[in-house]
């Protein structure tokens, strides 16, 4: 059940975000219920001058690995600068690389992302890039030293699920680093499906934060991820077009007089 | 979390079947791991002359509610006769009504099923009919006194998932008795989805029995059902086409000098 | 390309309805553009006292086969009575049998539909029943003498397409009479898909009537149905998971000096 | 109905390929039946020394615009070299840019493709790049001067249809140059759907070439593309969950004595 990324081992395969929650307290309780051990934080959201800000002070007792993200960056240069600020502010080499020039759908830029990834890896960062579900791009991100790849299932915050499924399947088949499905996962069934397909982990934020009951939803996602991973390991049956009877079909009356 | 059918209360929302397992021992361990408390048994599979047959003797220690099914029946008359045999043999009024004249896809017969359901209810049975995902038929089965309805997600044993989703949604919306999605559920994600949609329970057999690791798969389905039910109760967010940023998007560098 | 239903031969595999159009003139022009030769008419919509009403007077010059429907009937008895009125008023034995007790989703009632179908066939009607996508029900409707079966793709007027696809495939495989996919077809691509799957025809109404340009849409559906039928007859290739290069892949530079 | 790419106007919105056909004669007849006016040719397949080779000699009488492709290129450098050979051999500035380092799924390389596109545009080529369904990449390809973008629907030759639909919708919404859906289109219904979504054109090869009746299939795709484009222009109705009756529902017997 453990997941290794770079040199760290996690017991949970559910990554969470910290945005959109109604309060930092709810956020922390939700993350705790979810079992998540790797939590992404927007740099803007943390007070870079003062480490004891609201979000961080609520996250600290959970003992999770912080994963500062570069959300808001539109170029490699901006992202690298943001990553360096995050390293200084949060004391971690880990960074979730996000570069999205388009404010409407927040689609990641493949060119700038690869450029920034290469430079950040060279600078000693542990880089987890958010990227489009592009099999060749994922291979290239891996080749420049990324610790994992984070292809999107659908637009961020859209809750649409694994709309890029056919590409995710190829990415998973070919990857030599962990594949973490990010964005679009709006329901536990999406998370279960991703894990059944062989994804190494999923990241969920909006679906938790906007639920009327985030803490319960955190628990649901924890179970969903575990269910999917267990099923993947146990081995799923093939789909068939014809029926295969689970109960004996013919002659149930044979042997008894009618 | 409890599910009430007729006058019984269950703590699990996962029904299981007993067919296709490699051994009765594996079957029993799988059912135990799944947490299932309501277990369907084909009449042919149990020895009607002698209650201590292999399947039953393995099920007994689990303390589950047995649900004899009429699999193999092609007409209402055959099904009623089978149900009566089952009642006598297994000492329970509960029956899963299955009538499928077609040996290839095992599709249930709506006419004979309604006819048999009406008569079995009149005879005092607790009737859970397997049926097509037909909203009007489900209402009619409810009206003649069925304790639940069991519409199919796909052909039995096909592992195709909720191919009838659009009809299941209408059935769930309109039902006054528990809706148990039966047939076609081939992966935990299917079960999670059914529960998220508001189904009261799901029945799984083939996906457990044919897994290389049935016991692990039993555990996976247990978690999957709980995840989906928890999410349904907590309330899922709406899907949207546009992105909704979970992290702040613009000006992440504002407030710091670049 | 011709389609035979009962003893009539049609050159079009597109059935149309007459409801919801902004005017009878637009309706007639749309039907003409669609090439449809079999047109369903609600009994209420035609003036039963006076044959030259607005709809009928616009349809007459088109030379189409009228197909009165029993829409609004909630029971077999009501439907049979309506069919008899239709026969008298429109001078045709053909009837589209529709029985839907539920006003919200207009789902057909399998029990009453089969009952009415049997009686109407016995009375000499040419019966085309609208029904749920239930393979056993379709077989039974065929066995009592229906000239075709009209399983639904989705709820009437929902434009959702072939949501019942997995069941339609079984119905098409097993049917000995024409299968006409009715309800839910909201775009030409749905019609093309139905025909590619081997359906004999489709019925479209809402998608035409509510389009800003019904006449163009009529033409689009005509082409879509023909495209799907032609493809079905020509034979479609299988889907595959792996790529199969359409252009030569390796060594495009071989033979030339680089 | 006309489609403009760069300075050329086409009367067909169906692009075709020339690979995999059983003979050049069948290929030419299929393309003619399809109405396609823009036809892609692999450089390897044409004899670069001698223009009157088999494929070209069959294409010439059709009067189509040739679109040499760089299939087989694994880097920008190889693709540029191939494009230059193609220009010389076929006497056209037009090029379909394809760079796919992975021989199994033939997924295009976003980095090398953008690099090559930029240089080819600077060299005066009319560049139509095959690319992943990545909205930001498509914008960037447009910005470096590509005459169109050709995002994939699924892996080449897989016949899986528009598996990347959610991304294609964003690409179509944002593009200022024609969007031609390429790869994966395995049935006319896929082509119709792409056009209904607002794609400007589609490219089809495998589905034509491997059909038992390529010429009929060519005709089917011609109709399918026209149907989808006509429907897009006419305006499709929205999908709804509830039914909307096309025939009057209640009281069909009102006004007549029963």
Contacts of D110 in chain A (CB under 8 A): 110-111, 134, 136-137
Interchain CB distance below 8 Å, C69 and D247: yes
Interchain CB distance below 8 Å, A235 and B48: no
Residue B72 annotated as lining a ligand binding site: no
| Candidates A231, A257, A258, partner chain B, best to mutate (most B CBs within 10 A) | A231
- Answer left, alpha or beta for residue A239, where phi above 0 means left and psi between -120 and 50 means alpha: beta
Evaluate if residue C57 carries a pLDDT over 90: no
Alpha-carbon distance B144 to nearest alpha carbon in chain A (angstroms): 26
Whether the CA torsion D40, D208, D171, A156 is positive or negative: it is negative
Return the pLDDT at C258.
33
Backbone angles phi, psi at A23, to 5 degrees: -155, 160
| Candidates B110, B149, B161, partner chain C, best to mutate (most C CBs within 10 A) | B110
* Residue C128 belongs to some domain of the structure: yes
Contacts of C196 in chain D (CB under 8 A): 187-189
Q: What's C157's DSSP letter? A: T
Nearest to A21 by CA among A6, A36, A41: A41
Residue A50 touches partner D, C-beta closer than 8 Å? no
* Residue B41 belongs to some domain of the structure: yes
Angstrom distance (rounded) from CA C186 to CA C154:
10
Interchain CB distance below 8 Å, B110 and C136: yes
Neighbors of chain A by Cβ distance (3+ pairs < 8 Å): B, D
Please answer whether residues B40 and B15 qualify as being in contact, where contact means their C-beta atoms are separated by less than 8 angstroms: yes
Please answer whether residues A67 and A128 qualify as being in contact, where contact means their C-beta atoms are separated by less than 8 angstroms: yes
* Residue C149 belongs to some domain of the structure: yes
* Residue A258 belongs to some domain of the structure: no
Angstrom distance (rounded) from CA B210 to CA A246:
10
So what's the ipTM on this one? Answer: 0.89
Which tops the pLDDT comparison, C41 or B103?
C41
**Facing residues of B14 across strands?**
B202
**Low-confidence residues of chain D: pLDDT under 70:** 44-53, 238, 240-258
Residue D183 annotated as lining a ligand binding site: yes
The pLDDT confidence band at residue B257, using thresholds 50, 70 and 90, is: very low
Residue C16 touches partner D, C-beta closer than 8 Å? no
Whether the CA torsion B5, B7, B12, B16 is positive or negative: it is negative
Q: Which residues of A62-86 are buried (b: 16+ CB within 10 A; e: fewer)?
A: eebbbbbbbbbbbebebbbbbbebb
Q: Among residues 192-211 of chain D, which lie with CB inside 8 Å of chain C?
A: 192-193, 196, 205-207, 209-211
Return the pLDDT at B193.
97
Please provide the DSSP assignment of B18-77 as one string.
-SS-S-HHHHHHHHHHHT--EEEEETTTS-SS-TT-HHHHHHGGGTPEEEEE-TT--SHH
Give how far Cα B239 sits from Cα of A155, A160, A187, C244, Å: 11, 6, 10, 35
Give how far Cα C83 sits from Cα of C79, C116, C139, D255, Å: 6, 10, 22, 16
Residue B124 annotated as lining a ligand binding site: no
Evaluate if residue B133 carries a pLDDT over 90: yes
Report the catalytic residues of D: 96
Interchain CB distance below 8 Å, D100 and A136: yes
* Residue B109 belongs to some domain of the structure: yes
Q: What is the CATH number of the domain that holds D20?
A: 3.20.20.70
Residue % of chain B over a pLDDT of 70 = 88
Domain of residue A146, residue span:
3-234
* Residue A239 belongs to some domain of the structure: no
* Residue B255 belongs to some domain of the structure: no
User: Which contiguous run of DSSP H or E holds residue A89?
Assistant: helix A76-90
User: Which contiguous run of DSSP H or E holds residue B9?
Assistant: strand B8-10
> Into how many domains does chain C fold?
1
Contacts of A103 in chain B (CB under 8 A): 249-250
Return the pLDDT at C1.
74
Contacts of D166 in chain A (CB under 8 A): 154-155, 160, 163-164
User: Which contiguous run of DSSP H or E holds residue D41?
Assistant: strand D38-42
Residue D170 touches partner C, C-beta closer than 8 Å? no
* Residue A76 belongs to some domain of the structure: yes
Residue B98 touches partner A, C-beta closer than 8 Å? yes
Return the pLDDT at B108.
95
Interchain CB distance below 8 Å, C163 and B167: yes
Angstrom distance (rounded) from CA D158 to CA D104:
11
Whether the CA torsion B100, B155, B41, B20 is positive or negative: it is positive
Give how far Cα A56 sits from Cα of A63, A151, C171, Å: 11, 27, 59
pLDDT single digits (tens) A134-193 = 999 999 999 999 999 999 999 888 889 999 999 999 999 999 999 999 989 999 999 999
Residue A93 touches partner D, C-beta closer than 8 Å? no
SS3 content of chain D, % helix, strand, coil (to 5): 40, 15, 45
**Facing residues of C39 across strands?**
C16, C66
**Low-confidence residues of chain A: pLDDT under 50:** 50-52, 249-258
Pairing relationship of beta strands D3-5 and C201-204 according to DSSP bridges: unpaired
Residue A91 touches partner B, C-beta closer than 8 Å? no
pLDDT single digits (tens) B214-225 = 999 999 999 999
| Candidates C39, C252, C254, C258, partner chain D, best to mutate (most D CBs within 10 A) | C252
pLDDT single digits (tens) C80-97 = 999 999 898 889 999 999
Residue D199 annotated as lining a ligand binding site: no
Interchain CB distance below 8 Å, A250 and B72: yes
Closest chain B residue to A158 measured between Cα atoms? B240
Angstrom distance (rounded) from CA D132 to CA D142:
14
In the residue annotation, B96 being an active-site residue is answered as: yes
Radius of gyration of chain B (CA): 20
Return the pLDDT at B157.
80
Which of B192, B235, B251 comes nearest A189 by C-beta? B192
Nearest to B132 by CA among B152, B105, B104: B152
Q: Which residues of A205-230 are buried (b: 16+ CB within 10 A; e: fewer)?
A: bbbbbbbebbbbbbbbbbbbbbbbbb
Residue % of chain B over a pLDDT of 90 = 72
Residue B184 annotated as lining a ligand binding site: yes
Contacts of C77 in chain D (CB under 8 A): none
Interchain CB distance below 8 Å, A223 and B226: yes
The pLDDT confidence band at residue C52, using thresholds 50, 70 and 90, is: very low
Return the pLDDT at A214.
96
Q: What's D239's DSSP letter? A: P
User: Which contiguous run of DSSP H or E holds residue B222?
Assistant: helix B214-234
């Amino acid at each position: 059940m453990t997941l290794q990324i770079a040199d760290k081992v996690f017991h949970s395969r559910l990554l969470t975000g910290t945005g959109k929650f109604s309060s930092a307290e709810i956020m922390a309780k939700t993350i705790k219920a979810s079992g998540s051990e790797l939590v992404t934080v927007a740099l803007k959201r943390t007070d870079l001058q003062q480490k004891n800000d609201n979000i961080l002070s609520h996250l600290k007792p959970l003992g999770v690995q912080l994963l500062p993200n570069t959300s808001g960056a539109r170029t490699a240069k901006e992202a690298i600068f943001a990553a360096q600020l995050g390293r200084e502010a949060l004391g971690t080499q880990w960074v979730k690389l996000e570069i999205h020039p388009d404010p409407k759908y927040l689609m990641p830029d493949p060119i700038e992302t690869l450029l920034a990834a290469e430079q950040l890896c060279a600078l000693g960062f542990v880089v987890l890039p958010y990227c489009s579900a592009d099999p060749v791009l994922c291979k290239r991100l891996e080749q420049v030293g990324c610790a994992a790849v984070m292809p999107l299932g659908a637009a961020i915050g859209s809750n649409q699920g694994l709309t890029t499924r056919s590409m995710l399947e190829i990415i998973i088949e070919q990857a030599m680093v962990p594949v973490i499905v990010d964005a679009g996962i709006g329901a536990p069934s999406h998370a279960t499906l991703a894990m059944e397909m062989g994804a190494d982990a999923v990241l969920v934020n909006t679906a938790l934060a906007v639920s009327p009951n985030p803490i319960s939803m955190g628990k649901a996602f924890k179970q969903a991820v575990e269910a999917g991973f267990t099923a993947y390991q146990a081995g799923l049956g093939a789909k068939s077009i014809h029926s295969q009877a689970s109960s004996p079909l013919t002659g149930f009356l044979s042997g008894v007089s009618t």
